[in-house]
Structure 1
């Protein structure tokens, strides 16, 4: 089991040879042909910088510190929660949760939670469903009964393993009675229910906090420019989002004792003008803490452009799914590392979330929507077998190594080797690289007057860890 390997090698990663403190570089590599998956390889040695260049040079500057990281993770959809809660015997379920969220495993520290149903639910529902034609402006019928079935118990179990777990929550639709379609499918939020929808968020946040799984960020709508025809969704244009946030949701959340950040957009890279329009509204801008992004159209440069326009606002990457449309290990590994971890972090993102944490052998359970999505892990409901998919290793190459309080730090960029660097509070440095040159590449990494050398096979993804020059390994 990989968890056991991680637990063993985590000790090795922090160790240094006697008599030569802080000179060992730990190496964790995944190959493009999947023959090695986060394999712990022989340590490299830091030596005084010579000035000679061995291939591409990456310079790491630990004292140039950027954003504090929240972390890496995936979505606890109903499908994922139900599988984790019911598809495995309790002892195996607990081991898997410890592997996913524990420090000696993936150490996932960031989770996205649908508010009500997504396409990865067995039924379509909100937290305040009413018969057609009836309304509930006082939210008398608000209920957390469905989240209590699996989602909240599994989140509690995950938080028990990782007390630093941060939650971000998103509705796929407002309750049907709030919409002009009187349906969870398609439609717009009716303006007269803006106060009730703001109260809906507050009721949800209070309920989650009462259960011991408080939410730190929300977005007002998943993919607000998309109205799916067979699962919950809602069109929420930028002017309407700005008014809802600026006049209703923002002021209401500002009165809470525990702050909750509002993230706008939560949609693809291809329409940055939509979050820019919301941020241009001074009332909304006061309450929007950041922008959330998905991967299904456009490219990551949109994140950096919006962040440059509003550098005081956070950046988060909040959804991307692998699936049967991307069956090749090396291609998916490289693309996700390049775009969802390296480019996102370099664009200011404080965290990366993939889509479903767990799905079954039939890419579900789901009702509508994606029929061939892939979870971070696959749990076979018949045999109980657990498959750790390529997305598992994409996350692990970053999440396993970062600790609470880690920051992204400066590192030079090259065309042939993509990279991003982080620093843990104890002075441990992490450099994640991907050889995207199409041929083997020499690499020289320099930091604090020292350097180490490596040769990267085609498509190789490697995480290097070592102790910052002049810092005690504590």
Structure 2
């Protein structure tokens, strides 16, 4: 009996040790790091095991305090970007780097509807007319045929790689015949009920034709940067009153009539003006059709969207454009992480998107000298087909690779401007991704990540970002 008792005691002890070891193994924290001054580029480091707690920065992840759901992270598939990708001799590998699990799994694309300043071919819209024809109110000449050359093939390849990929579409200009200048370059929308109705029909047909091509449009904006006009490339001014009236009187009702589920997003311009979107949302007739507002980084404070959300908590926030460029030389990830990837999600953004997805060695191809002449793409595609992954690739990747569509943002503390910055997200599979930035250029920073009663200590090098993944 004594031997049997000892054997049973040993078995129980072994089982307890096995359970404890299993628990500790499950409670480890995986780590990926990128830094501005060293060689780490989304480099996986040794996993962390729980440790004791101590004084210092604590990034406490609160599962019970939840904010917005995430739709995705990515960049714009401009005509130039699609042209560069389509003609690259290393296209398949580059597409995997951008959309595949072995790359950064981008989950959201911004699709310009027709021409911008970044073009592989001459700018166009989907209803361009010969000079002798003055209007096409019934959209008899509407076609997306030019998108079939290389834009649609690239989108379809991206969707094959990542079926969760979603698309927001935005025009830089209406067809020339809808404008006061009768030109794609600059000018204003030609106001009047017949033009407003035609523009709504134009947007509806775009969604329908893309759907026929096998591509769903998740959301649509009426106009990119509607307060801006430039005679050097496709642009158009669209007043908030006109945008409101198009949505209220034509676009919203047309979506209902045709059972279109695409979301209507307003504004799509800089942080420095909240009145444009606010005035539209003040009209209940328009607001009933609107899902949210979109924002750019080229003016105003980066925390603007947080205040705007507090005024309109039932409407979503989309961050849709910011560009890297030669004005920020070197491989610097701090601004993009602090202001965009972390900063915008902490201010209620469902998406964070850069401008051009892929440009060539000459920051193009471009239309003339208008627009941005020294913008960088998320990647640069060189003449031989090789690529350079720019800082923006990693700024996006530290989110998109680990934070999946429909993840929910969890609460983490806010510290000072030069202290650690963080954002945390819970995925549908239960995993939690915590993104942490050390913005300081003079020293490393140590901190603790607290999840489910576990404490994980880490020291992050200066000007570095880390994504930690926890699976309980």
TM-score (norm 2): 0.91
Contact 1:355–1:375 (CA under 8 A) maintained in structure 2: yes
Contact 1:58–1:412 (Cα < 8 Å) also in 2: yes
Instruction: Determine if the alignment matches structure 1 residue 174 to structure 2 residue 174.
Output: yes
Name the residue aligned to 1:157: 157
SS of 1:342's equivalent in the other structure is: helix
Mark the CA change 1:31 to 1:418 in structure 2 (over 3 Å): closer, same or farther.
Answer: same
Match of 2:128 in 1: 129
> Counterpart of 2:463?
459
Contact preservation (8 Å) 1:132, 1:182: no
Q: Residue by residue, what CA displacement relative to the aligned partner does 1:255-308 show, whole Å, maximum 9, x if unpaired?
A: 232401111111111111211111111111111110101111112211111111
Is 1:85 aligned with 2:89? no
1:142 aligns with 2:142: yes
Deviations 1:322-358 (A, max 9, x none): 011111322xx11111111111111111111111111
Query: Secondary structure of the equivalent of 2:46?
Result: strand
Within 5 Å, which residues of 2 pair with 1:54-133? 55-88=56-89, 92-121=90-119, 122-132=121-131
* Change beyond 3 A, Cα 1:310–1:175: same
- Contact (CA 8 Å) 1:76, 1:112: kept in 2 or not? yes
What are the residue-to-residue correspondences of 1:438-449 with 2, within 5 Å?
438=441, 439-449=443-453
RMSD: 1.6
- SS at the partner of 2:25? coil
3-state DSSP of counterpart to 1:304: helix
Q: Are 2:416 and 1:418 equivalent residues in the alignment?
A: no
How far apart, CA to CA, are the structure 1 residues paired with 2:285 and 2:161? 39
Gaps of 5+ in 1: 1-15, 469-474
* Correspondences of 1:390-429 after superposition (within 5 Å): 390-415=391-416, 416-429=419-432
Supply the distance in 2 between the matched residues of 1:143 and 1:262 (Cα, whole angstroms).
Answer: 22
Match of 2:255 in 1: 253
Q: Measure, in 2, the Cα distance between the counterparts of 1:244 and 1:31.
A: 46
Q: Would you say how many aligned residue pairs link Structure 1 and Structure 2? A: 444
Alignment match, 2:321 = 319
TM-score by length of 1: 0.91
2:17 alignment partner in structure 1: none
Cross-structure match for 1:205 = 207
Cα distance, 1:32 vs structure 2? 2.3
How far apart are residue 448 of structure 1 and its match? 1.6
Is the 2:24–2:49 contact (alpha carbons within 8 Å) kept by the matching residues of 1?
A: no
Task: Write out per-residue CA displacement over residues 349-384 of structure 1, whole angstroms, 9 at most, x where no aligned residue.
Answer: 111111111111111111032111111111112x11
2:367 maps to 1:364: no
Contact 2:187–2:231 at 8 Å: present in 1 too?
Answer: no
Question: What displacement does 1:409 show?
Answer: 1.0
Q: What's the CA shift for 1:128?
A: 0.6
1:225-269, Cα deviation, whole Å (9 max, x unpaired): 110121111111111211111111111112232401111111111
Where structure 2 has 5 or more consecutive residues not aligned to the other structure, the ranges are 1-19
Point out the more displaced range, 62-71 or 232-241: 62-71
Instruction: Give the distance between the partners of 1:450 and 1:238, measured in 2 at CA.
Output: 50
